[in-house]
C-alpha cells in the first residue's frame, strides 16, 4: 500500500474516532477536550495504534487549529469591551494571576525544571479555558446571570495577559535570554496597543477588507488573513496565537458574527487535531509518575479559582450563590494550557515530563470544571440554612430581586 493511501486511512480513522469521542462527551455532559487528549495518547508513541504517514499533516493541522481557536476567541470581543473589561476587572485579574500561577511555578521548581519550566507551568495552571467556560455558561442557561459579566471580565483579563505572556515565553524558550524577553515584551505591547487603537478607530475598515457576501470568498479571505497575520506574528516572536487573537479583536459588528458562524466547523475540526497532536507527543508511560503532582495542582488550583470568582463577584455585590457559580465557571483549564505546554515541548528546552504533567492536569481540570459548575449551587445550598425573617417568615439568603 502506498504512503498516500496509508495516510488517508490513518486520518480517516482518527477523524472518525474523534467523532465518536465527541458524541460520547456530549452524552455525559463534558467537554470533548479530555477525550481528544486521551485519543491522542492512544495514537501516539507508546500508545495502542501509533500513527505513521499522517504525522506531518497532523502537525500542520494542529498549528492551524491554534490559529483558529484564538481567532474565534478574539471575534468574541470588541476593542471597547476589552478596554472596559480591563478597567473593571484588573484587581480580580491580578488576584487571579497570583493565586493560580504560583502553584504551577512552585511545583516546577520543586521538580527541578528551572525558571523556564516554572514560567511554563505557571501559565498552564493560571489560564482558564474560555471555550469550556462559555460552553458551560450556555448549557446551564447562565448567560444572563448577574455573575456572568464578572466571569467574562476575568476571562478577558486572562486573554490579554496571555497576549503579553506568550511572546515572552516563546522568546525565552528560543534561548534569546533576558534582553530578548524584554524585546519580545516591547514588541508585544506595541502590537497590542496598535491593534487596539486600530480596532477602536478603524475597526470597520478591517471588517470591510475581509467581508464578502460570497461565503467562499469570505472564508478564503478570513482564513488567508488569519494565517498571514499569525505567520508574521510568529516571525516577530510575538506568537502566532496572539496574532490571530488580535486580528479577531479588530474584526467587529456583523462581520465578526458571520465570521464566527462560518469558521466554527473549521475551528472544531482543526482544534480537535491540535489536542490529538499534543496527546501524540505524550508517552502514556510518562503520566503515572507525574499523576500525583497533577492531582495536587488540580486540588489547589480548583480552590484558588473558586476563591478568585467568589472574591470578584462579591466585589460586584453579587449574592453568595452567584459567587459560587462565578468561581466554578473559572475552574476548567483547556486549550490555552495545552498551547503553552505545546510551545515548550516543541522548543525542546524543558523536561519531557512537563508535557505529561500538563496532559494529566488538563484532563483532570477539563472534567472537574464542568462538574464544579453544575454542582456548585446545590453544594452551597446544602451547607447554608435560610435566615429567619424578623416577622417570622424564612428568607432565602441567596435570593436577589
d(CA 364, CA 359) in angstroms, rounded, equals: 9
pTM above 0.75, yes or no: no
Task: Give the three-state DSSP class for 301.
Answer: helix
**Residues 167 and 401: beta-carbon distance below 8 Å:** no
Considering the segment(s) 15-23+32-383 as one domain, its CATH architecture is Up-down Bundle (1.20)
CA angle (27 as vertex; 26, 28 as ends), nearest 5: 95
pLDDT tens over the chain, length 401 residues: 677 787 788 788 888 888 888 888 878 777 787 788 777 777 766 555 666 656 667 778 888 887 888 788 778 777 776 677 667 778 898 999 999 999 999 999 999 988 889 999 999 999 998 777 877 776 777 877 888 888 878 887 887 788 778 878 877 777 766 666 677 677 777 777 777 777 777 777 888 889 898 999 999 999 999 999 888 877 766 667 777 877 888 887 888 889 989 988 888 888 888 777 777 767 777 889 999 999 999 999 999 999 999 999 998 888 888 899 999 999 988 777 888 888 787 777 677 788 889 888 988 898 888 888 888 878 877 776 554 444 444 344 443 43
From residue 369, give the alpha-carbon distance in Å to each of 95, 155, 164, 309, 366: 20, 15, 25, 13, 5
Q: What's the pLDDT at 181?
A: 65
Domain limits, the chain: 15-23+32-383
**Residues 98 and 125: beta-carbon distance below 8 Å:** no
What DSSP string describes 198-253?
HHHHHHHHHHHHH--SSHHHHHHHHHHHHHHHHHHHHHTTS-HHHHHHHHHHH--H
Amino acid at each position: 500500500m502506498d504512503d498516500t493511501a496509508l495516510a488517508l486511512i490513518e486520518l480517516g480513522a482518527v477523524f472518525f474516532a474523534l467523532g465518536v469521542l465527541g458524541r460520547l462527551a456530549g452524552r455525559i455532559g463534558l467537554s470533548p477536550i479530555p477525550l481528544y487528549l486521551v485519543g491522542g495518547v492512544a495514537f501516539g508513541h507508546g500508545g495502542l495504534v501509533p500513527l505513521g504517514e499522517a504525522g506531518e499533516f497532523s502537525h500542520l493541522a494542529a498549528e492551524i487549529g491554534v490559529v483558529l481557536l484564538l481567532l474565534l476567541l478574539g471575534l468574541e470581543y470588541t476593542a471597547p469591551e476589552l478596554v472596559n473589561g480591563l478597567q473593571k476587572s484588573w484587581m480580580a485579574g491580578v488576584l487571579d494571576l497570583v493565586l493560580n500561577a504560583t502553584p504551577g511555578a512552585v511545583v516546577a521548581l520543586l521538580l527541578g525544571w528551572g525558571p523556564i519550566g516554572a514560567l511554563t507551568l505557571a501559565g498552564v495552571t493560571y489560564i482558564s479555558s474560555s471555550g469550556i467556560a462559555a460552553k458551560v455558561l450556555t448549557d446551564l442557561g447562565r448567560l444572563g446571570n448577574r455573575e456572568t459579566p464578572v466571569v467574562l471580565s476575568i476571562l478577558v483579563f486572562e486573554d490579554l495577559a496571555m497576549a503579553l505572556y506568550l511572546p515572552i515565553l516563546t522568546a525565552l524558550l528560543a534561548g534569546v535570554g533576558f534582553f530578548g524577553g524584554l524585546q519580545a515584551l516591547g514588541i508585544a505591547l506595541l502590537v497590542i496597543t496598535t491593534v487596539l487603537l486600530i480596532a477602536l478607530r478603524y475597526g470597520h475598515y478591517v471588517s470591510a477588507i475581509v467581508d464578502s457576501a460570497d461565503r467562499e470568498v469570505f472564508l478564503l479571505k478570513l482564513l488567508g488573513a488569519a494565517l498571514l497575520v499569525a505567520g508574521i506574528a510568529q516571525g516577530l516572536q510575538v506568537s502566532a496565537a496572539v496574532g490571530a487573537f488580535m486580528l479577531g479583536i479588530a474584526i467587529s459588528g456583523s462581520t465578526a458574527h458571520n465570521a464566527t458562524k462560518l469558521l466554527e466547523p473549521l475551528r472544531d475540526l482543526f482544534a480537535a487535531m491540535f489536542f490529538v497532536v499534543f496527546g501524540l507527543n505524550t508517552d502514556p508511560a510518562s503520566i503515572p509518575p507525574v499523576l500525583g503532582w497533577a492531582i495536587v495542582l488540580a486540588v489547589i488550583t480548583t480552590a484558588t479559582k473558586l476563591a478568585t470568582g467568589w472574591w470578584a463577584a462579591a466585589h460586584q455585590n453579587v449574592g453568595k450563590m452567584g459567587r459560587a457559580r462565578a468561581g466554578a465557571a473559572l475552574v476548567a483549564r483547556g486549550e490555552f494550557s495545552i498551547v503553552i505546554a505545546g510551545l515548550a515541548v516543541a522548543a525542546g528546552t524543558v523536561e519531557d515530563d512537563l508535557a505529561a504533567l500538563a496532559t494529566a492536569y488538563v484532563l483532570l481540570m477539563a472534567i472537574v470544571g464542568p462538574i464544579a459548575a453544575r454542582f456548585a449551587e446545590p453544594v452551597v445550598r446544602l451547607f447554608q440554612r435560610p435566615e429567619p425573617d424578623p416577622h417570622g417568615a424564612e428568607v432565602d439568603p441567596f435570593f436577589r430581586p
